[in-house]
């Protein structure tokens, strides 16, 4: 079993082009663990950033929709007031003509 582990270790070190004489097993495993930890942290940060961007995008869309609806309501109100003003003016003219 020890020979098998030694062979696997040499293969891994060769794969990563690490000199067996310069880097101990402990150093390699520590570096590998540090990399894994940093990678997982970066993944979580990226996910949080994407979620925050999506939330911001939805908020912006909701704000734009609310502004558009407000503008449409104002335009309808203005149009109704113009129609009512026109009807009042016609009524006044009809009364004056009578």
pLDDT digits (tens, 9 = 90+) for 60-78: 999 999 999 999 999 998 8
Under the banding of pLDDT at 50, 70 and 90, the label for residue 84 is confident
Domain segments of the chain as ranges: 24-97
In the 3-class helix/strand/coil scheme, how is the chain assigned residue by residue?
A: CHHHHHHHHHHHHHHCCCCCCCCCHHHHHHHHHHHHHHHHHHHHHHHHHHHHHHHHHHHHHHHHHHHHHHHHHHHHHHHHHHHHHHHHHHHHHHHHHC
- φ and ψ at 57, to 5 degrees? -65, -45
pLDDT digits (tens, 9 = 90+) for 14-56: 998 999 899 998 999 999 999 999 999 999 999 999 999 999 9
């Amino acid at each position: 079993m020890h020979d098998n582990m030694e062979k696997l270790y040499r293969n891994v070190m060769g794969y990563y082009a690490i000199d067996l004489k310069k880097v101990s097993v402990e150093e390699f495993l520590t570096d590998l663990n540090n990399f894994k930890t940093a990678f997982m942290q970066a993944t979580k940060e990226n996910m949080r950033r994407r979620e925050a961007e999506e939330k911001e995008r939805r908020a912006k869309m909701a704000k734009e929709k609310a502004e558009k609806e407000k503008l449409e309501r104002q335009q309808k109100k203005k149009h109704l007031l113009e129609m009512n003003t026109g009807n009042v003016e016609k009524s006044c003219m009809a009364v004056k003509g009578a």
